Amino acid sequence: MPELSNALLETLLEQVRPLTARGAVASYIPALAEVPAHALGIAIVTSDGQLFQAGDAQTRFSVQSISKVLSLSVALTRYSDDEIWQRVGKEPSGQPFNSLVQLELEHGKPRNPFINAGALVVCDMLETRLTAPRQRMLEFIRQLSGTADINYDRHVARSEYEHSARNAAIAWLMKSFGNFHNDVSKVMQTYFHYCALSMNCVELARSFVYLANQGKAVDGTTILTPRQARQINALMITSGMYDGAGEFAWRVGMPAKSGVGGGIIAVIPNKMSIAVWSPGLDAIGNSLAGTAVLELLSEQLGSSVL
Ligand code: DON
């Protein structure tokens, strides 16, 4: 088994580079279509704090749905388990991430916190208990990453708000079932800002070490209990890649969460967190080259969780 090194990561990137021409950059949020389509980067932070990186690992991009893991983590520190899981489920949806179909049939309770409906409910909960949810998220991510200048890309957040018909429909449908308590546009603004967090692979890999390290951040602070970290990893395995979660587990075998900005964060518990970025997406909305590089890495390291 090869040792982890920057050179190994560069070799893996070169193997998947042809795939960067094959995926489609997300365009349903116009600002996302402005990214460099052929970008490709990877960063790994190990449990003992070593950093490895290659390619465009230091170019920031829109984290999009990767933020759903962060908002759930903050909610876990403010709400009891019962309070959270009576409003959002823990099951894979098997549906596109912005689908409304199941929500109507299941009385406004989203299947899991990683589809749009679930993340909107989580943001609604944060709106209730936090005085400044946007500021709190910035403080959280700056602490996790050890980087003081992480911020929201306001251009992306505005673009999402201007094209928010589907998310608004989801939120209003949940409100009709009594599962959404605050003002819809206020909560959507928070949700869009979270999605518009602008970070690079190095910052993401550093930030998500708490899921590899039983709830402890890179600087040693406790973010979640070991049990909560394990539970989030379980949800990422079953629901982190939307209706592609089964295929992803089969190919890569790691808890992971994707975003339509082309980022994926993956975790090997007790070993490392891995961030990849390539904006071209597959039909489900997951990074095409990003998934391929994680598959190669998992084979090379012989170190997936499954
Ligand atoms: O609400 C949306 O549609 C986007 N802000 C986030 C979607 C997303 O990243 C789904 N990911 N694969």
The verdict on whether residue 65 carries a ligand-binding annotation is yes
Atom of ligand 1 nearest to the CA of 65: 9
Question: Which residue's CA is the nearest one to ligand 1's atom 1?
Answer: 116
Instruction: Give 60's Cβ-side CA count (13 Å radius).
Output: 12
Cα separation, 98 vs 281, whole angstroms? 16
Listed by start position, the domains of the chain span: 6-301
Is any ligand 1 atom within 6 A of the Cβ of residue 210?
Answer: no
Q: What is the pLDDT along the chain (306 residues), one digit of tens a residue?
A: 578 999 999 999 999 999 999 999 998 899 999 999 999 999 999 999 999 999 999 999 999 999 999 999 999 999 999 999 999 999 999 888 999 999 999 999 999 999 999 999 999 999 999 999 999 999 999 999 999 999 999 999 999 999 999 999 999 999 999 999 999 999 999 999 999 999 999 999 999 999 999 999 999 999 999 999 999 999 999 999 988 999 999 999 999 999 999 999 999 999 999 999 999 999 999 999 999 999 999 999 876 666
The owner of tokens 């090379």 is 300
In the reported structure, the alpha carbon of residue 232 is separated from the centroid of ligand 1 by a whole-number distance in angstroms of 19
Question: Which residue's CA is the nearest one to ligand 1's atom 4?
Answer: 64
What fold characterizes domain 6-301? Beta-lactamase (3.40.710)
Per DSSP bridges, beta strands 197-199 and 61-62 are antiparallel
In the reported structure, the alpha carbon of residue 201 is separated from the centroid of ligand 1 by a whole-number distance in angstroms of 18
Pocket test for ligand 1, best of 167, 190, 195, 258 (most atoms within 8 A of CB): 195
pLDDT for 206 equals: 98
143, 87, 147: which is closest to 120 by C-alpha?
Answer: 87
Is any ligand 1 atom within 6 A of the Cβ of residue 259?
Answer: yes
Contact call for residues 39 and 59 (beta carbons, < 8 A): yes
